[in-house]
C-alpha cells in the first residue's frame, strides 16, 4: 500500500534523482531545483511524495497544478514511480483521483502523456482516463519533436467508476 504526503525541501534530492534517472528521463520534463522549490511554495500546486505506507520509504512523486483554477480543472503535471511494475503507479493514481474530486472538488482532471509512453498511457486508460486528442510535434526535446496525447477524466466518470 502507498500513501501520499507533501514534499519537503529535504525530499528534493530524491525527486531530482528520480526525474533524471534514465528509466524516467525520456518520459518527463526536467525541472531545476529552483522550479521544484517554487512549486512547493505555490498555492496553485500540490507537490507530493508517494511512499510505502508501512516503511514510509519514498517510491515516487507527483505534482498537481490548478488548485486555484476557476474552471475546477486540475492538471496531473507529473507522476513518477521509482519501483515500477508493483502496482504503485495505479494505487497512486487512485489516491490522486480521490484527492482531486473529493478534497479539491474538481470537475476535470487532465494530463498529457508522450505518444510513445505505452506503459503510462495504458495505465491512465486502465484507471478511467479518456483520450481527448493529440498535439502533434508540440515539444522539442533532446529526442527531437515529440507528440503528446491529452487525456482527461470528469467528475461524473470518477463517480461512475466508484459504483463499478
Ligand atoms: C508510468 C508509471 C508511473 C507507472 O507506474 P508503475 O508503478 O510502474 O505501474 P503499475 O505497476 O501500477 O502498473 C499499472 C499498469 O501499467 C501498465 N503497465 C505496466 N508495465 C507496463 C509495460 N511495460 N508496458 C505497458 N504497460 C505497462 C499495465 O496496464 C499495468 O497494469 P497491470 O500490469 O496490473 O495490468 C511508472 O512506470 C513511471 O514512473 N514511468 C516513468 C515516468 C512516466 O512515464 N511518468 C508518466 C508521465 S505522463
pLDDT at 164 over 90: no
pLDDT band for position 143 (cuts 50, 70, 90): confident
Handedness of CA 75, 80, 122, 145 (dihedral sign): positive
pLDDT-derived band at 116, boundaries 50, 70, 90: very high
Domain count, the chain: 1
- Ligand 1 nearest-atom number relative to CA 28: 47
Task: Kindly give the distance from the C-alpha atom of residue 70 to the centroid of ligand 1, in angstroms, as a whole number.
Answer: 31
Nearest 5°: CA angle at 160, between 156 and 162?
Answer: 120
pLDDT in tens, 88-97: 999 999 999 9
pLDDT at 156: 97
pLDDT of residue 142: 84
What is the C-alpha to C-alpha distance for residues 159 and 162, in angstroms, rounded to an integer? 5
Q: Which residue owns the Cα nearest ligand 1 atom 12? A: 87
Q: Among positive and negative, which fits the CA dihedral 11, 20, 83, 81?
A: positive
Per-residue pLDDT tens digits for 26-79: 999 999 999 999 999 999 999 999 999 999 999 999 999 999 999 999 999 999
The closest-lying atom of ligand 1 relative to the alpha carbon of residue 76 is 48
Mean per-residue pLDDT over the chain, rounded? 97
CATH number at residue 7: 3.40.630.30
pLDDT score of 137 more than 90: yes
Percent of the chain whose pLDDT exceeds 90: 96
Range of the domain at 152: 2-163
According to DSSP, the residues that pair with 151 across neighbouring strands are: 111, 131
Which pLDDT score, from 0 to 100, does residue 108 have?
A: 98
Amino acid at each position: 500500500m502507498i500513501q501520499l504526503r507533501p514534499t519537503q525541501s529535504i525530499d528534493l534530492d530524491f525527486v531530482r534523482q528520480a526525474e533524471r534517472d534514465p528509466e524516467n528521463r525520456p518520459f518527463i520534463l526536467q525541472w531545476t531545483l529552483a522550479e521544484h522549490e517554487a512549486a512547493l511554495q505555490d498555492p496553485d500546486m500540490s507537490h507530493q511524495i508517494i511512499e510505502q505506507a508501512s516503511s514510509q520509504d519514498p517510491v515516487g512523486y507527483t505534482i498537481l497544478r490548478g488548485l486555484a483554477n476557476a474552471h475546477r480543472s486540475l492538471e496531473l503535471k507529473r507522476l513518477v514511480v521509482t519501483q515500477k511494475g508493483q502496482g504503485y503507479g495505479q494505487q497512486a493514481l487512485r489516491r490522486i483521483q480521490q484527492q482531486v474530486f473529493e478534497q479539491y472538488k474538481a470537475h476535470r482532471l487532465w494530463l498529457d502523456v508522450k505518444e510513445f509512453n505505452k506503459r503510462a498511457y495504458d495505465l491512465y486508460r486502465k484507471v478511467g482516463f479518456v483520450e481527448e486528442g493529440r498535439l502533434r510535434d508540440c515539444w522539442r526535446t533532446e529526442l527531437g519533436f515529440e507528440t503528446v496525447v491529452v487525456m482527461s477524466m470528469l467528475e461524473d466518470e470518477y463517480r461512475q467508476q466508484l459504483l463499478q
